[in-house]
Chain A
Amino acid sequence: MKWLRGGGIAGFIVRRLLLGLLVLFLVSVIVFVSTQLLGDPARAILGRDATPDRLAALQKQLNLDSSKVGQYFHWLGGLLHGDLGTSLASSQPVTSVLGSRIANSAVLVVLAAVVSVPVSIAIGSYAALRREKSFDTVTSNLMLLLAALPEFVVAVLLVILLSTNVFHLLPAISPVPPGTHAWQYPDELVMPVATLVIAVAPYVSRIMRASMIEVLESDYVEMARLKGLPERTVLIRHALPNAIGPVFQVIAINLAYLAGGVVVIESVFNYPGIGLGLVDAVTNHDIPVVQALAMLIAAVYVVLNLLADVATILVTPRLRTRL
């Protein structure tokens, strides 16, 4: 920000952090206001039994008798203390309702990232080196095709191919039983993770390819070559670090997308993560859970962007010097 320039990398990180907090604050306002549209939670809990006296008692209990502003700050205060309220549907604390779901989705997203990022960086870089050669042509077109298939199509096709109709290699669904952890069922994770990798890899590899091409044609790579450095050194020491900067941004965007976009994949594989949790909460008008999930997904987005910005600055030599 222009009124906060300077301070080197530390200053940059501080500025970004403050901005992130500001964004999250605004997000919390929007989440709170829009979930008011879900209607009176007390009425939602009581349903048919919403007699006036029971309604009033519950509204008092849920702190609904105070003003909207008061309710907002009460909610925000709880949020800051890690108290996300009580689920209206199950009467359990939101933290215990969502705890295992968050862990399950995190396993999916992290695994997808761990697999897709190196693979797509490698494919993208190699395609850039072999520009317009057969490897480049084949991979670009393949990536284009994969990117064109909606992820639920990929998931459904994988199930047909690998588990129900053609081969019977992998489980068709991934219902991590409560009390256990997703990584205890590696075979059940293969297809959901593969689907996510296929959803992410095309974008990241295409950006990597483009970024790499740009860097390979830049003056400093030319200079390094003229200095007589071995091609290997040129690539790894000079080209890659500069090319990878913009890719972090795309990875961040895609991971943030996964955090919210797992909805469809969790539905196909009956995987107990936050996506199915969100669908459930929305259909049950479970306001505290919807609010918690919206804040969580927004926070993931903000944090990933923050990390990507910092990483970009750190790895890109020509940007580091500008700070």
Chain B
Amino acid sequence: MAGSDQKRWQVVEPEGGLWVPSRRGLVMGAAGVVLASALSACGGGSAPAPSGATGAAGSPKKGGNFRLGVTGGGSKDMMDGQNIVTKPDQARLVTAFETLLEFDDDYQLQTTGLAESVHADNPTQYTIKLRDGITFQNGKPLTADDVIYSLQRIGTQANGLTGFAATATMDIKNLKKVDKLTVQLPLLSPDSTIPQTLASYTFGMVPVGYKAFKGDPSTQIGTGAYKLKSFTPGQESVHERYDGYWRDSWFDSVTITDFSDSTAQINALKGGQIDAMTDLPANQVNAIKSSGVEALISQTGGWIPICMAIDMAPFNDPKVRQAMRLIVDRQQILDQIGSGYGQIANDLYSPFDEGYDKDLPQRQQDIAQAKSLLKSAGKEGLTVDLHTTNGASGMVELASVFASQAKAAGVNITVKNDPNYYGDAYLKLAFSVDFWGTRGYLNQVQQGSLPNSPYNETHWPPKSGEGSNFGDLYQQALRETDTNKRIEIQHEMQKAEYDIGGYIIPYFNSLIDGHSTKVAGLKPSKGTLNLAGFGHGFRTIWFS
């Protein structure tokens, strides 16, 4: 189903990633301080030496065809500067399209992108100022008109683009061109997440009149380092260097190949037929080291939750939900499924958010307590189906491992691996496994934990009693310009989710990718895209 596949990948990316910048107040400061103005000096034509150059690799060199193998694609692959369906789409998008703002490897906002500043004039208006001298791959300069066209294209629901939901607070119709390089973005209501939204990769800037790939590579004109040469969905795309690119890039060309499974991918990497691969299985990290291949391990905030619908039996009883959360041996799950690569979680999401409550006690396995909770709920010897699918790696294994752990508490779980899960049953199940990528807290709440959220698996929040004010708290937090006060509100929200929420979140997984030793310039990133944002649009990596 189209819907299911969109779900599969779109949630991996932070369309409105809500990382609050470390320099507090920069964005929403009272006087409308220009975001990270100090950094804009490094922009312009002379890009800094690519970050993370590994010592031995030496200085960057030009040349070569970089061959990347990606799993998770198929005949639904597409190319669109502002949309993705499958994982290879992500890699292809960043070859040619760039955003106004960018995240660095610590997931902090930077003005290294197409805009030299994004200025909050007041709580309901931003001013975007473009860097001068940037051209599209057909030589046409990037102007305010392109920015307006790009944002309006995303904000038009009929276009069905990934980022549409994140434009809800933007007054898309009233975008205003101030001059050739300046755009005014008015808001319908205050939204402190606008800069993060503008930095998410599905907010790529496209030229006026742009349309998605329909068979003609020459229509795919962005400002990025590589220009599409050929593309066959489900198989392969070739991208050639754009000589007029405004920053440095090193490869002559990039070839992105679809793979149907990771064993073939690993073999190709070992045999030298590709230079890098996405999603190396965690249990292969040690095995590949002997064959001239390296693993790039990035701790992300991605998570694979077991979801209990709080309004469906038997999980409509908070005691049962609590018991389930006490059954989990988190360290063992991390070792079994992530081979130890990842971080123990505490049934809460968005660990990198500054509003993430680290003070809530780490929940431990407690079978005796789980049993007594089940007993007092009258659910001893509970038998229940746990639905899962081969959506993201680990989803099926997590269900199986949890089922075997639950036996200790006398809970009988049958794992149902359903190929049509996202098409037919998704969001209607009492007990299911899902997956999410790195996001800021408020944006994640908007995606999955409000009554009108598109992907609310747990049917959170409760209609009455504890937690029923969750939605109100969210609105308050979104409007709150004082960071400390916002964090306080977020803590209150998390407390409710921690106590009686529907998610079991055992661990935050790592992104693990493989690459040959001759690829230089890669270093771990907290971002959501593989291979450190695919080598930041394939421009900060090179062959040593």
Q: Does chain A touch chain B in the assembled complex, meaning CB atoms less than 8 Å apart?
A: yes
Would you call A87 and B160 a contact (CB within 8 A)?
A: no
Minimum-distance CB pairs A-B, first 7: A47-B2, A47-B3, A178-B232, A172-B267, A172-B271, A48-B3, A89-B75
* CB nearest neighbor in B for A46: B2
Partner of B74, one of A89, A171, A178, A268: A89
CA distance A48 to B10 in the complex (A): 13
A residues lining the B interface (CB < 8 Å)? 39, 43-50, 87, 89-90, 92, 97, 156, 159, 163-165, 168, 171-173, 175, 177-179, 267-270, 272, 276-277, 279-281, 283-286, 289
Would you call A159 and B267 a contact (CB within 8 A)?
A: yes
CA distance A57 to B3 in the complex (A): 18
B residues lining the A interface (CB < 8 Å)? 1-6, 74-77, 160, 215, 230, 232-236, 257, 259-261, 263-265, 267-268, 270-273, 291, 419, 423, 454
* CB nearest neighbor in A for B7: A48
Would you call B423 and A173 a contact (CB within 8 A)?
A: no
CA distance A92 to B216 in the complex (A): 13
CA distance A175 to B76 in the complex (A): 18
CA distance A280 to B4 in the complex (A): 15
Would you call B75 and A87 a contact (CB within 8 A)?
A: yes
10 interchain pairs, CB-CB under 8 A: A43-B1, A164-B270, A164-B271, A168-B271, A172-B268, A175-B235, A177-B235, A268-B263, A270-B260, A270-B264
B263 partner residues in chain A, CB cutoff 8 A:
156, 268
Partner of A179, one of B75, B76, B230, B233: B230
A289 partner residues in chain B, CB cutoff 8 A:
75
B271 partner residues in chain A, CB cutoff 8 A:
163-164, 168, 171-173
CA distance A309 to B293 in the complex (A): 53
B1 partner residues in chain A, CB cutoff 8 A:
43-44, 47, 285
Known contacts A48-B3, A175-B235; is-contact A276 B423 (Cβ 8 Å): no
CA distance A124 to B5 in the complex (A): 51
CA distance A180 to B399 in the complex (A): 43
Min CB distance B519 to A, Å, is 18
Min CB distance A242 to B, Å, is 45
Partner of A178, one of B3, B75, B235, B267: B235
CA distance A270 to B234 in the complex (A): 11
* CB nearest neighbor in B for A286: B75
Would you call A175 and B236 a contact (CB within 8 A)?
A: yes
Would you call B264 and A172 a contact (CB within 8 A)?
A: yes
CA distance A171 to B267 in the complex (A): 9
B6 partner residues in chain A, CB cutoff 8 A:
47-48
Partner of B261, one of A163, A168, A267: A267
Min CB distance B293 to A, Å, is 10
Partner of B75, one of A49, A90, A164, A165: A90
CA distance A68 to B58 in the complex (A): 67
Would you call B291 and A164 a contact (CB within 8 A)?
A: yes
A281 partner residues in chain B, CB cutoff 8 A:
75
Would you call B75 and A284 a contact (CB within 8 A)?
A: yes
* CB nearest neighbor in B for A276: B260
Partner of B234, one of A48, A90, A177, A267: A90
Partner of B236, one of A49, A177, A276: A177
Query: Which of B75, B260, B261, B423 has the most chain A CB atoms closer than 10 A to its own CB?
Result: B75
CA distance A43 to B423 in the complex (A): 10
Known contacts A47-B3, A164-B267, A272-B235; is-contact A267 B257 (Cβ 8 Å): no
A48 partner residues in chain B, CB cutoff 8 A:
2-3, 6, 454
Would you call B230 and A269 a contact (CB within 8 A)?
A: no
* CB nearest neighbor in A for B272: A168
Min CB distance A157 to B, Å, is 12
Given A39-B423, A156-B263, A286-B75, list of 15 further CB < 8 A pairs? A43-B1, A47-B4, A47-B6, A90-B75, A164-B267, A164-B271, A173-B264, A175-B236, A267-B261, A270-B257, A270-B264, A270-B265, A280-B260, A284-B76, A285-B1
